[in-house]
Structure 1
Amino acid sequence: METTAEIMVVEDDATVLAVVSDYLRGRGYQVTEHDDGTAARRALRTARPDVLVLDRMLPGVSGDELCREVRRTAPQTSIIMLTALGAVEDRIDGLEHGADDYIAKPFALRELRLRIDALLRRSRGKHVSPGPFTLGPFRVQPAHRRIWLRDNEMTLTNREYELFLFLLQNPDRLLTRDDILREVWGWSFGETSTVTVHVRRLREKIEPEPRFPRYLLTEWGQGYRFTVEGVA
C-alpha cells in the first residue's frame, strides 16, 4: 500500500478485538479499537477511517445503528460487518444497513485482511480508470470517483460507486450476479444476495421510482441489465 490505511475495529469480545487489532497492526495498518458502540460513535465524530470493521452485536449503540450513521456522515468509509449470525437473512440485514461486506464468525484473519485489501484497492482507484464520459443523464469522472445524475452529484458508498461504474461501462449487457461478484467484489464465488442488496440500494439513488425501475432492470432468473434508454 502506498499510504498506511487507517482501520477502526469495533468489537465487544476482548479476545477477538485484541487478536484482530494486533494482526492488522502487524501487517502495517494504523489501527484504533473500541469495545462498545458508544465509544466508537464518539470517536467517529472526528475520525474518518478508511475501513471500519464493525461487530453487529455491540453494547450501547448497536453495530447496525453505527453502520447507518456512518453511511450518512462518511459514505467513503468502507464497512465490513462481523456477524455471529450465520443465516443468509441475517447477513442481508447487515448489508441493508449499508455495509460493503460481511464476514461470519468464526473467520480467518487472512480472509479479513484480503477483504480489507480488496476494499482499499478499489476505493483508492489502483486499477486503471477510464476518462470522463456521459451516458444518458449520468456524467462520470472516474479519476475523481464522482458521478452526477443530471446536475446533481450523487452520494455513493465505495461499493455503490464501483457497482454503478461497472454498470455504466456495460450498458445494455446482461450481467449475471456471478459476473458482478467477480468484477465488482473480486470474488470467484460468494453469496449472490450481496449483489441483490446493493442493486436495491443503488436503485434508491438512481431511479425515479425504485419499485418500477427504468434504468437498472432485472432479467428474471438471469441477472441485471442497465439501460439509459429507460422503460416506459
Structure 2
Amino acid sequence: MPTILLVEDEPSLALIVKDSLESRGFQVDFAADGEAGLHQFRQQCPDIVVADVMMPKLDGFALAGHIRRENATVPILFLTARSQTADVVQGFELGGNDYLKKPFSMDELIVRIRALLARVPAAAAPVCLLTIGRYQFDHPKQKLRLGPQETDLTNREAELLKRLYDQRNQVLERTTVLRELWGDDSFFNGRSLDVFITRLRRCLKDDPQVQIVNIRGIGYKLIL
C-alpha cells in the first residue's frame, strides 16, 4: 500500500483529501504545517509527499528544500493557489516533481500521484534486512541490530549507510553523496558528511571486520 505524506494547513481540505485518498487504497499520514511535515517525513519515509505551498512555520518550498537535502528520489507534488509562472518554476527548481493548482479535482490529484509513483524505479527484489558483518541493517525502519542490541539511525544516517552498503568494497564518491543527500558539495556540507561517517563508525564499532575507510580525495569505502 503506497504511503502518502499530506502536508496541508487548511483542516477542511486536508480531511477531504485524506479521506478520498484512503478510500482509493493509499495510506495517508497528515501534518498541519511544514515543520511538522518535515518531522513526519523523517519518521515515516513516505512513498510520496503532497504539500501545500503557503503554510505556517515552514512553507512548502522550504519543506521541499529540506527533503531534497536528505532524499533525492521521493516524489514531491505541490498544491497551491499561487499561479504565477515564477512560483511554478521555483517549485521545480527546489526539487518538486509536479504542481497542482487549487481548486483541483480529486480524480486529477489521484492520477498525478499514481503517475509520479510509477516513475520511481521499483526495487528488483526488496530486502528488509541487509547483512553488514555481524549486524543486521533494516533500512526502511532505520535500525541497526547486533544480537539483542538495536540502534536507531536518523534518516540521513540510514540513507548514507545504504549507499555505502550498495557500493560495499567499492569507493563511494564523496561528491555524489553530498549532492544526493545534502543538495550540494559545499565545504560546510562536506564537514557535516564527515560527522555522519564518524557516527556510523561508532555504530559499527563492535564488529572489527567492518570498516568505513577514507579514500583520500575521492570518498569512502565500506569494507566487509
Which TM bucket (shorter chain)?
0.5 to 0.7
CA RMSD of aligned residues (A): 2.6
Matches within 5 A, 1:36-185: 36-125=33-122, 152=173, 154=176
Give the TM-score, by structure 2 length: 0.55
**Structure 1 residue 38, shift from structure 2 partner:** 1.8
2-structure distance, mates of 1:42, 1:119: 23
Question: SS of the counterpart of 1:45?
Answer: helix
The letter for the 1-side match of 2:62 is E
2-structure distance, mates of 1:102, 1:73: 21
**Structure 1 residue 45, shift from structure 2 partner:** 2.3
User: Which contiguous aligned blocks of 4+ residues in structure 1 show a shift greater than 4 angstroms?
Assistant: 151-157
Q: Which residue of 1 aligns with 2:19?
A: 22
**Structure 1 residue 117, shift from structure 2 partner:** 0.5
1:21-76: CA deviations, max 9, x gaps? 11000000010111111211222222211110011101111111110010011222
Say if 1:42 and 1:28 are closer, same or farther in 2 by CA, change over 3 A: same
Query: Is there any run of 5+ residues in structure 1 with no aligned partner, and where?
Result: 127-145, 158-200, 206-232
Query: Is there any run of 5+ residues in structure 2 with no aligned partner, and where?
Result: 124-166, 186-224
Question: SS of the counterpart of 1:76?
Answer: coil
Sequence identity (%) = 34
The letter for the 1-side match of 2:16 is V
- Of structures 1 and 2, the larger Rg is shown by 2
1:133-157: CA deviations, max 9, x gaps? xxxxxxxxxxxxx9xxxx8485688
The letter for the 1-side match of 2:11 is A
Q: Is the 8 A contact 1:83 1:91 kept in 2?
A: no
Q: Number of aligned pairs?
A: 135
Question: SS of the counterpart of 2:45?
Answer: coil
Q: Is the 8 A contact 2:34 2:59 kept in 1?
A: yes
Choose between structure 1 and 2 for higher RCO, CA contacts under 8 A separated by at least 6 residues: 2
2-structure distance, mates of 1:87, 1:51: 24
